[in-house]
Structure 1
Amino acid sequence: MSSTHPTATRHRRNGGDLVIESLAALGARTVFGLPGQHALGVFDALRRSALRYVGLRVENNAGFAADAYARATHGVAPLLVSTGPGALMTLAALQEAAAGSAAVLAIGSQVPLAGIGGGRHGYLHELADQSASFRGVVKSVHTARTASQIPSAVAAAWESALSAPHGPVWLEIPQDVLLAEVDVPPVAQLDATPRELLPRPELIAAAASRLTRARRPVILAGGGVVRAGAEAELLALAQQLRAPVATTFGGKGAFPWEHPLSLRSWMEDRHTTTFLEDADTLLVVGSGLGELSSNYHTFRPRGQVVQIEADLGKLESNHAALGIHADARAALAALVEAVGEEGEDGEDGENGEIQEDHGPRDTGPAGEAGAEPATPEAAVAALLARVHDRIAGQELDLEQRILASVRDALPDGAVSCWDMTILAYWAWSAFDPRRSNALHSAQGAGGLGYGYPAALGVAVADPARPVLAVSGDGGAMYSIAELATARQYDLPVTWLIVDDGGYGILREYMTDAFGEATATELTRPDFVALAGSFGVPAVRTSPERLRTDLAAALAAPGPSVVVLPARLRMFAPTHLDA
């Protein structure tokens, strides 16, 4: 007699299995998501695989977690969601992934084939053209309309996400295709190796010539350096040229904060903007010189600009330049070699002629008028002193003490994820991450609610290290349900919630612009008690106790919450000393 339960049936592989097998064949180890009716075929296949599933409570938060996982691993993060409302809930997260070049592979279900494109209507979750909602947000849109198309469609989407510049992609598969039985061997191998984006040699030669002939070369390093893993090449080039280096907010950590040539990240500072403007050759690598990186489009370079950018749409999009369409690491490595050869040959010109000796390299605007030219290192120190004096004159001791307490409490190897809140705006300019790829924020698209789910994604990528999330009380409410996720997976994330009773940065903006604020004040919960209801330890702290309380929370296993009641102010970003 058979021992099989009379209602049990032998599983027949289906389209959902092909999705999961394809992801595994491409190297995926973890997937994020939230199930829904039309997507059940792929979620059922998960239990027959070795992939780790991390389920969040809101699709947008699942997207943020996948975004940060992709940034932390420099790889692809699969995101599984359902049709219609579930799919649309990912759009804000995918917009951030696009702005931040995070390789999120979003796979959504669709209504059955009969309901697509003007067929039989009336399905639950049905949209007239679901994929159209994603075309203006993601890098590419893919569809699999038969089970046999699934492996190739997954591979094509994966390759698109991981090709330079990285970015999110959308793949949708109808419900009946996911459920259709298949009679093919399991997917064992797929190739989705992205094509290398190498620089053209003649452009590298021209850039090397301009940089070696420059009296005041300066480098601006953006997020493309971090994504490409080009930190060593950047350091080598800067030291070859003795060129000061500023990093954009997305490029934080790309260059050592305490290096004598480090201008740090004061991108919302007029002194820093002027220093960059006065470079006779400015090398911009991995940045499109967008709003934040150009001090709100006030940046006006007076010298030559050389721009290395993997995103063709950002190349020379804001300023004329010698544009090099290439991956940052490949281009910087080529420049290091070419600059070394230029130095050996005695400053060859762009056409091979020998250039006259320009004498000692000067530093432009860092010193006082009429002063002897300083060394690049002295110019950097002088600029940072002026920035320090400007901030010191604005009575912002509380904000600086709190940021310093966070830095002191956070272990050197830990990663921090920041929401759109005043303390994060301070961190963009003034926080030393102490290593590359260790500070993530939503400064690309700027949506609220990024910090906490992003920290969960980072913790999934590396559960051995504590992760810090920083939110305001307004942004925290976008993500509060994910305390359950942190507890369910026992993720080592400490959440610092700065409670100022509302949308603090909007309060400042409106008060400055209109004299008073509207719609910024919020009723909020007792965050300590609320965290406790999820089984997450929480403490209410003060500016004086913050360093101690935060360090203790970060050292404890599992999730925790630290609530800081404080009303912070921003520094004046473009203030000039009299």
Structure 2
Amino acid sequence: MTHDHDLVLRPTAAQISTALNPPPGRNGGDLVVETLAGLGATTVFGLPGQHALGMFDALRRSSLRYIGLRVENNAGFAADAYGRITGEAAPLLLSTGPGALTSLAALQEAAAASAPVLAISSQIPTAGLGGGRHGYLHELPDQAASFRGVVKSVHTVRTQSQIPSAIAAAWKSALTAPHGPVWVEIPQDVLLSPTVLPMVTAPDATPEDLAPRPELTAVAAHLLSHAARPAIIAGGGVVRSDASGKLKALAEKLDAPVVTTFGGKGAFPWTHPLSLQSWLEDRHTTDFLEDADVLLVVGSGLGELSSNYHTFKPRGRVIQIEADLGKLESNHPALGIHADARLALQALLETVEERTDESAPQRVRELLAKVADRIAAQELTLEQEMLFSVRRALPAGSPSFWDMTILAYWAWSAFDPRGANTMHSAQGAGGLGYGFPAALGAAAADPTRPVLAVSGDGGALYSIAELATARQYDLPVTWLIIDDGGYGILREYMTDAFGQPTATELTRPDYVALAESFGVPGVRTTPETLEEDLTKALASPGPSVVVLPAVLRMFAPTHLGTS
């Protein structure tokens, strides 16, 4: 009797020939790039360094395309966006110590957003590891320890034969729900030493399915089928698992209104009759969700922003579908279903009973009217018109990447992404400098459509060096920089809290002249000409910069007891 797990794939004649006759001049770095290519990678991001040179030299002998950025953190943001757009694990090649540590903030964002980034770092030579020699350049007592609290998994390599399996295990980890960043480290001498190992051809790293338990989806389906006022909160997990179509089908089958979190933008059609859009920092929306007798939360941990700063107190039964086990029921008691959003939604689609609620679209319209009236009362026409101008200028299907800036805070709630997996921001970890390098990564993933990046002048200063990257690879990214002379949102926060701001005002360059010094076209615009200038820039090949001098205000959020 033969069991499936007893079967071994037999190598083909071509594979045998390749294995027995490897090309000359290979080293440990070749094992890295061969494994990546065998796993299906086509593009890698990164920055070379002394200990990592074996990997970078091997790129010459591979079919992999290399996109080199100027700062490791920006390379991490670019890989993050590439992973989000493609759904593939994005390789990020880094050097030891300072180079590795500079990527930490980007990996934190990837972890918060469940973006699959495969970071591969060099290490000091093996002689310096495990209590051996000391005093190596870039040496850390325990480099991997710096990443364990950030990434999904850490994989250490000490010999060349470990390289293919370690990278394959990391790849599988990055792409098993929930997606996320992973860390592999390889000593310098292992990368540089000549290798006698055969070429790596087809490593197996198929991600594991995270299927829901059927007894849990049966209970969830029963609750939803017999609910009087069901509602759905759709988070980033719906986008990452490519489940927006299944979410729409389930919402329509149940006549259940849907709100998307800031990380789940685009998970549900913005103008759908059941769409509550994304007004989560609004007490009217919070009240609506609290009034649901059955609330389905898909792919969200209901964290600070998604819970209206933890003022959300559901009164009905909560069903939470979440791939990250640590987030299951972490903020609210629920029927917790540990599963990939796509598989769980499919199970519910197959088991819920259709229900009809003709009042649901009307209740949605009433809520959105209340929200619109509240925002209109704050006299923030400039901010809303700017957002409309951006939306009209950006072609449908083109992705946008937003830094932590006031217009992005508006966009979380008010921007129509026109499709799943098209609007991305740094709201997961909340670090500055995300927008432009992330947009470069998205453009590398799909150069056939223009990409928009939006930054404030404070966040832009984190990313200026990447204008050289945009020019070098001729990436079609239009960078909108809103110049308000400082850290605008912090200026508002400090003024509200203390009566005046401190450390928020910035001396900054002439961004148009600076862009042009990199060979990137730049234009200074106004709120009145923003749509025209953005449209023109997005339609032009290659990178461009549009600078808008403007001081924007944030709308007042409403929490418990306010309206």
TM-score range, shorter chain: over 0.9
Match of 2:424 in 1: 440
8 Å contact kept, 1:211–1:217: yes
Q: Which amino acid aligns with 2:524?
A: R
Asked whether 1:264 is paired with 2:281, we answer no
Q: Which amino acid aligns with 1:497?
A: I
Match of 1:63 in 2: 76
Q: Distance in 1 between matches of 2:102 and 2:540?
A: 33
Q: Which amino acid aligns with 2:316?
A: G
Q: 1:19 aligns with which of 24, 29, 32?
A: 32
Q: 1:198 aligns with which of 211, 224, 243?
A: 211
Match of 2:514 in 1: 530
After superposition, residues 426-575 of structure 1 pair within 5 angstroms as 426-574=410-558
After superposition, residues 311-390 of structure 1 pair within 5 angstroms as 311-339=324-352, 342-343=353-354, 361=357, 375-390=359-374
Match of 1:143 in 2: 156
Asked whether 1:410 is paired with 2:403, we answer no
Q: Distance in 1 between matches of 2:145 and 2:208?
A: 27
Deviation at 1:503, TM superposition (A): 0.1
Q: Distance in 1 between matches of 2:383 and 2:453?
A: 17
Q: Distance in 1 between matches of 2:27 and 2:86?
A: 30
SS at match of 2:462: helix
Q: Distance in 2 between matches of 1:259 and 1:430?
A: 15
Deviation at 1:101, TM superposition (A): 0.3
Deviation at 1:435, TM superposition (A): 0.6
Q: Distance in 1 between matches of 2:129 and 2:309?
A: 43
SS at match of 1:377: helix
Q: Distance in 1 between matches of 2:461 and 2:104?
A: 19
Q: 1:254 aligns with which of 243, 250, 267?
A: 267
Q: Distance in 1 between matches of 2:246 and 2:94?
A: 39
Deviation at 1:183, TM superposition (A): 1.0
Match of 1:350 in 2: none
Q: Residue by residue, what CA displacement relative to the aligned partner does 1:382-440 show, whole Å, maximum 9, x if unpaired?
A: 00000000000001000001111000100011100000000000000000010100001
Deviation at 1:117, TM superposition (A): 2.4
Q: Tell me how large the CA RMSD over aligned residues is.
A: 1.1
Deviation at 1:185, TM superposition (A): 1.4
Deviation at 1:11, TM superposition (A): 4.7
SS at match of 1:479: coil
SS at match of 1:172: strand
Deviation at 1:14, TM superposition (A): 1.1
Q: Distance in 2 between matches of 1:333 and 1:301?
A: 25
Q: Distance in 1 between matches of 2:556 and 2:55?
A: 51
The count of corresponding residues between Structure 1 and Structure 2 is 540
Q: Residue by residue, what CA displacement relative to the aligned partner does 1:178-233 show, whole Å, maximum 9, x if unpaired?
A: 01111121001100001100011111110000001110000000000000011111
After superposition, residues 167-316 of structure 1 pair within 5 angstroms as 167-316=180-329
Deviation at 1:12, TM superposition (A): 2.2
Q: 1:155 aligns with which of 154, 164, 168?
A: 168
8 Å contact kept, 1:83–1:109: yes
Asked whether 1:50 is paired with 2:69, we answer no
* Structure-2-length-normalised TM-score: 0.95
Q: Which amino acid aligns with 1:426?
A: W
Q: Distance in 2 between matches of 1:485 and 1:59?
A: 13
Q: 2:113 aligns with which of 84, 96, 100?
A: 100
Q: Which amino acid aligns with 2:528?
A: E
Q: 2:89 aligns with which of 45, 62, 76?
A: 76
What residue ranges of structure 1 are gaps of 5+ in the alignment?
1-9, 348-359, 362-373
Match of 1:420 in 2: 404
Q: Distance in 2 between matches of 1:153 and 1:256?
A: 40
Q: Distance in 2 between matches of 1:194 and 1:117?
A: 32
8 Å contact kept, 1:280–1:302: yes
Q: Distance in 2 between matches of 1:120 and 1:15?
A: 22
SS at match of 2:373: helix
Identity %: 77
What residue ranges of structure 2 are gaps of 5+ in the alignment?
1-22
Asked whether 1:398 is paired with 2:388, we answer no
8 Å contact kept, 1:390–1:577: no
Structure 1 segments of 4 or more deviating over 4 A? 575-578
Q: Distance in 2 between matches of 1:262 and 1:90?
A: 37
SS at match of 2:463: helix
Q: Distance in 1 between matches of 2:332 and 2:397?
A: 36
Q: Distance in 1 between matches of 2:314 and 2:223?
A: 15
Match of 1:3 in 2: none
8 Å contact kept, 1:60–1:89: yes
Match of 1:352 in 2: none
8 Å contact kept, 1:117–1:129: no
Q: Distance in 2 between matches of 1:518 and 1:117?
A: 46
Q: Which amino acid aligns with 2:556?
A: A
Q: Distance in 2 between matches of 1:142 and 1:530?
A: 41
Q: Distance in 2 between matches of 1:45 and 1:143?
A: 20
Deviation at 1:577, TM superposition (A): 7.1
SS at match of 2:143: coil
Q: Distance in 1 between matches of 2:25 and 2:74?
A: 33
Match of 2:51 in 1: 38
Q: Distance in 1 between matches of 2:265 and 2:142?
A: 39
Question: Structure 1 pair 513/474, CA: closer, same or farther in 2 (3 Å)?
Answer: same
Deviates more, 1:176-185 or 1:491-500: 176-185
Q: Distance in 2 between matches of 1:182 and 1:483?
A: 38
Q: Distance in 2 between matches of 1:154 and 1:417?
A: 29
SS at match of 1:138: coil
SS at match of 1:19: helix
Match of 2:9 in 1: none
SS at match of 2:461: helix
Q: Distance in 1 between matches of 2:380 and 2:160?
A: 60
Q: Which amino acid aligns with 1:73?
A: T
Q: Residue by residue, what CA displacement relative to the aligned partner does 1:288-328 show, whole Å, maximum 9, x if unpaired?
A: 00001001111000000000000000000000000000000
Q: Residue by residue, what CA displacement relative to the aligned partner does 1:13-54 show, whole Å, maximum 9, x if unpaired?
A: 111000000000000000000000000001000010000000
Match of 2:16 in 1: none
Q: Distance in 1 between matches of 2:213 and 2:443?
A: 39
8 Å contact kept, 2:283–2:562: no
* Structure-1-length-normalised TM-score: 0.92
Q: Distance in 2 between matches of 1:559 and 1:116?
A: 44
Q: Residue by residue, what CA displacement relative to the aligned partner does 1:436-476 show, whole Å, maximum 9, x if unpaired?
A: 00001000000000000000000000000000000000000
